Structure 1
Amino acid sequence: MAGNVHVVPEADGKWAVRIEGTDGTGPTYETQQEAIASGTEAAQQAKVELIIHGRDGQIRERNSFGNDPRDIKG
């Protein structure tokens, strides 16, 4: 897998899973929850970050499933 996984809104009202560094095509889903589930699985397998966008395109949430650069103690 090339890069981070994004869940983004489509113009037709559906939700898509897009992977950074690819041609931009990927699966689309009727609901955001379906797209998040698919994107989560892909991000976990690739050990990359899942970035969830809202309907307005702004980043709503980020989840890291791998090489987290922060050193958090505790």
Structure 2
Amino acid sequence: MSNDNRRHVTQNDDGSWRVAKPDAQRASGNFDTQKDAIAASDRIVRNAGGGETVIHGRDGKIRDSKTIAPGNDPFPPRDKK
């Protein structure tokens, strides 16, 4: 998957949350809550044709990631039978 369709949600020094491409100098957006930043990241990635939202915790470590359609999920859920 290309980094062009990946956005990271990280916390700023002031406690707000930012959405940015990897190695970007400017944020795509800044938000008061992590929840708002994740929703914005999902929307940006979806509008770019799908990809991945990578969510960082307050400590800066990756705590979760999710594939946004129509991106390729490397571990899709199995069909329940």
Provide the TM-score with structure 1 as the length reference: 0.81
Cα RMSD after superposing both structures: 2.0
Residue 29 of structure 1 contacts residue 35 of structure 1 at CA under 8 Å; is this kept in 2?
Answer: yes
Matching of residue 63 in structure 1 with residue 35 in structure 2: no
**CA–CA distance in structure 1, aligned partners of residues 17 and 11 of structure 2:** 5
**CA–CA distance in structure 2, aligned partners of residues 6 and 43 of structure 1:** 11
Amino acid at match of 1:13: G
Write out the 4+ residue segments of structure 1 that deviate beyond 6 Å after TM superposition.
none
Structure 2: 5+ residue runs without aligned partners?
none
Greater mean deviation of Cα atoms: 41-50 or 31-40: 41-50
- Matched residue pairs, number? 73
User: Which residue of the partner structure matches residue 48 of structure 1?
Assistant: 51
User: Which residue of the partner structure matches residue 35 of structure 1?
Assistant: 37
Aligned equivalent of 1:10, options 8, 12, 16 = 12
Provide the TM-score with structure 2 as the length reference: 0.75
